[in-house]
Amino acid sequence: MFRRIGVFGGSLAVLVLVAACSPRDVSYRAEVQPILQKYCLDCHVPGGAGFAASGFDMSSHESLMKGGTYGPFVIPGDPFTSTLNMLVEGRADPSIRMPHGRGTLTDREIEILRVWVQEGAKNN
């Protein structure tokens, strides 16, 4: 009995901590764009290898939302099924983890992209 309360209390504390550290009201211009610039734009602009292979141009909010040859990669409000989030989080096949062959984003950067999509992927 006491053991169960202990476990419950522990996970509650972790939950509160995560909520307190999570980014909120993420700004596309101030937070999302610099991450894409740093990791993705070398390849995902017209003329780059990523664009050539997937049709995905991430240089503007408009082209980012449009997606690629096979449709959108960002589903506003749904980071779980958005390809953008799946690939940077490594939830898809490791061979297509993004950025291609250039390491991984930090946990904080992954979280910023997740919250931004969750909050509607706005052009803010």
Please identify, using beta-carbon distances, which residue of 16 and 49 lies nearer to ligand HEC: 49
Per CB under 6 A, does 108 bind ligand HEC?
no
* Closest alpha carbon to 46 in 31, 63, 71, 66: 63
Minimum CB–partner distance for residue 50 and ligand HEC (Å): 3
Per CB under 6 A, does 79 bind ligand HEC?
no
Minimum CB–partner distance for residue 12 and ligand HEC (Å): 33
C-alpha distances in Å from residue 86, one per residue of 4, 7, 9, 15 = 34, 30, 31, 22
Instruction: Tell me which residues in 20-59 interact with ligand HEC (CB under 6 A).
Output: 39-40, 42-44, 49-50, 53-54, 56
CB atoms within 10 A of CB 117: 23
Q: How far apart are CA 12 and CA 18, in angstroms?
A: 10
Site of interaction with ligand HEC (CB under 6 A): 39-40, 42-44, 49-50, 53-54, 56, 68, 73, 83-84, 87-88, 96, 98-102
